Amino acid sequence: MRDQPVGEFLEQLAARVSAPGGGATAALHAAQSAALLGMVARYSDGPKYAEHSVTISSVLAEVDVLRVEALQLADDDARAFTAVTDAYRLPKGPERSAAIAEALAGAAVPPSRTIAVAERLVALAEALLPVGNRNVITDVAAAADAARAAATTARVNVEINGAAVVSDVDALVARADQVTASVREEISK
């Protein structure tokens, strides 16, 4: 999906095919969050922000890595869910049951990792919020909201695949909401 035009991806997403689906979409939300944070960090780099250069450089380095990871997770999720549908097509019997169980466990991995990426992105939004360029501060809120969407969408995909969510997504959502509320408060003054 990394090199696929957005319109083409959306056509594929809207088609009657099993993948890509919600898990890939969750990972793309995370990639968008990382990209937005990268933009804000880049607009916050320079002499005016020198006192925060360590934070900004650190955020920038990490969000670029997380963006690439999230894009990979979108691809991984599509492949993992294709394995689930392939397993359901096997002839009924013990091998099919084992293949389904294995595929479902595998399908829970990419969205679980997406939740971890989203959690990290919210933390980076929190770090960037007080020091970032105020002209693009609304993009920090957009990034937090995208990370929130990534986490909640990924959580549903983990749950449907029968796995337990190891991360506290509700706490992550509350933190993302707080970032957005802080930005809204600042821009309403």
What is the band of 50 on the pLDDT scale with cuts at 50, 70, 90? very high
Percentage with pLDDT > 70 across the chain:
96
DSSP designation for 18 = S
- Domain ranges in the chain are 20-187
pLDDT at 157: 86
Q: Nearest 5°: phi and psi at 129? A: -50, -50
Mean pLDDT, residues 93-116 taken together:
90
Task: Say how many C-beta atoms besides its own lie within 10 A of residue 141's C-beta.
Answer: 22
**Rounded Cα–Cα distance for residues 149 and 180 (Å):** 13
Cβ atoms of 118 and 32 within 8 Å: the answer is no
Cβ atoms of 128 and 37 within 8 Å: the answer is yes
Quick one: tokens of 8?
């083409």
Rounded to two decimals, the pTM is 0.88
C-alpha dihedral, 111 to 116 to 119 to 120, nearest 10°? -130
- Nearest C-alpha neighbor of 136 from the set 189, 90, 183: 183
pLDDT in tens, 120-158: 999 999 999 999 999 999 999 999 999 999 999 999 888
Q: Which fold has domain 20-187?
A: Four Helix Bundle (Hemerythrin (Met), subunit A) (1.20.120)
pLDDT in tens, 60-69: 999 999 999 9
C-alpha distances out from residue 73 to 44, 70, 98, 129, 144, Å? 28, 5, 24, 26, 19
Does the structure show a pLDDT above 80 at 114? yes
Q: Which amino acid is at 127?
A: A
pLDDT in tens, 17-48: 888 888 999 999 999 999 999 999 999 998 99
DSSP designation for 19 = S
